[in-house]
Amino acid sequence: MAEAREPEQKKGLTAIDAAMALIVVLLLVQIWLLTTTLETFLAGYKETALPAAIVSGLLFGACIGLYLFIERIDLERRQG
Is residue 3, in this structure, part of any structural domain at all? Answer: no
Handedness of CA 10, 13, 19, 22 (dihedral sign): negative
Dihedral over Cα of 71, 75, 78, 80: its sign: negative
Could you tell me if residue 2 is inside a domain?
Answer: no
- The boundaries of the domain holding residue 33 are 12-79
Does 20 reside within a domain? yes
Q: What is the pLDDT of residue 76?
A: 86
How many Å apart are CA 34 and CA 1, to the nearest integer?
Answer: 50
Query: pLDDT by residue for the chain (80 residues), tens digit each?
Result: 555 566 666 767 888 899 999 999 999 999 999 999 999 999 999 999 999 999 999 999 999 999 999 999 988 888 86
> How much is the pLDDT for 30?
96
Please give the pLDDT value at position 69. 94
Q: How many domains does the chain have?
A: 1
